[in-house]
Amino acid sequence: MHAPVKTAVSGGVGSLVLDRPNALNALDLRMVRELRTALEAWRADEAVRAVVVRSASPKAFCSGGDIRAVREAALRGDASAVREYFASEYGLNAAVAEYPKPYVALIDGYALGGGLGISVHGAVRVVTERAGLAMPETAIGFFPDIGASFFLPRLRGRTGWYLGLTGRRISGAAAVECGLATHYVHSGDLAALERELTATGGERLAEVLGRHAAVPPASELAGHREAIDHCFAADSLNGVFERLTADGGDWARQTLAELRSASPSALHVTFELLRRGARPAASLADCLDLELRTACRMAATRDFAEGVRAALVDKDRRPTWDLAQLDTVRGWFEQ
């Protein structure tokens, strides 16, 4: 049977290779469990001094969680399966964030949704010119989870709010600029970087990274920094729409179009979770706990079923959102 996660230890470095190419490495429950099992086994293993996670495919690092399987479980009324998946995934995210050894993610290709959950929480996030990062959940009637309500508000300026609400995909250069990534390395140099990490036994990490890191080019966010910080600093979702409308420029009109195509319920939930996660006293554990409760509720909604259908099942990209659902999700945060 083909192993979707390949593990190995060489020269003091534990290697996690995602290898589910037909699904663009979408994380199913088996992959989540295998990643967590390997990390726990290496945690106290003195022979392992660092961990590297990468993809076997240049097309995608990880396209996200296996959200189709979650939808199927929700449609058959299997709430326990839905909760088991999200609880396992968020447990893995927390394990990465708390890992006592250097955890290095090599992102060459797409890293979407859950793909950020197994990379952004780590100490080192290397991206290339082929990288594309996004939290696109509002387009499928869901919200940016995997701890995004904690890390998105802590990106530069209001970039996290912009990315979380619109689902906009950004380049590796933009990821370094805003703080999602820590290093920019040309894709052709990744193999040499990994070989040197292994040759040095996972030690002198900063030195090795410094030898391979390149200066990223100007990113697509650079020209919109002021507008992003102004429009997405509004204290309400309606305020964001109002500021974008008042701006009137091409970027603002495109951003409005992206927001208007998303699920209204998902936008409301996302804004509320980001608002709570931005509080100085909020911890990753707090955010993951609230996200778990919200995910289990959201997975049972019509918008989630419809959004996943339109994006991943029928692929017609024409979801019909349930506007009446908005009152229901508002009530979740008034209790």
Whether 89 is catalytic = no
Q: 61 phi and psi, to 5 degrees?
A: -70, -55
Please report where in the chains the tokens 């959102």 appear, as a residue. 321
Question: Exposure of 201 by Cβ count < 10 A (0-12 exposed, 13-18 middle, 19+ buried)?
Answer: middle
- What totals of helices (H) and strands (E) does the chain contain, helices first? 16, 10
DSSP 52: E
CA angle 211, 186, 59 (to 5 degrees): 140
What's the CA gap between 273 and 290, in Å, rounded? 8
Instruction: Centre a 10 Å sphere on the Cβ of residue 169 and count the other Cβ atoms it contains.
Output: 17
Question: Exposure of 197 by Cβ count < 10 A (0-12 exposed, 13-18 middle, 19+ buried)?
Answer: buried
Give the count of domains, the chain.
Answer: 1
Which among 34, 66, 89, 145 is annotated as catalytic? Answer: 145
Which among 28, 137, 194, 303 is annotated as catalytic? Answer: 137
- What is the model's pLDDT at position 58? 81
Provide the token pair at 208.
């090795």
Between 159-166 and 237-247, two packed helices, what is the crossing angle to 10 degrees? Answer: 100
Per-block average pLDDT, block size 10, for the chain (335 residues)?
91 96 95 98 96 94 96 98 98 98 97 98 97 98 98 98 98 98 97 94 92 96 96 97 97 97 98 97 98 98 98 96 93 82
Please report where in the chains the tokens 């179009």 appear, as a residue. 257
- What is the model's pLDDT at position 334? 81
Give me the half-sphere count of Cα atoms (radius 13 Å) on the Cβ side of residue 60. Answer: 21
Whether 78 is catalytic = no
Bridge partners for 134 per DSSP: 112
Whether 65 is catalytic = yes
CA angle 318, 323, 324 (to 5 degrees): 140
What's the CA gap between 305 and 308, in Å, rounded? 6
What's the CA gap between 150 and 283, in Å, rounded? 7
Instruction: State the residue range of the domain holding 61.
Output: 5-332
Which among 114, 164, 202, 277 is annotated as catalytic? Answer: 114
Please report where in the chains the tokens 């009324």 appear, as a residue. 77
- What is the model's pLDDT at position 2? 83
Which among 12, 64, 65, 167 is annotated as catalytic? Answer: 65
Domain holding 51: CATH number? Answer: 3.90.226.10
Provide the token pair at 89.
């995934």
Whether 201 is catalytic = no
Bridge partners for 27 per DSSP: 65
- What is the model's pLDDT at position 335? 59
Chain centre to alpha carbon of residue 216: 21
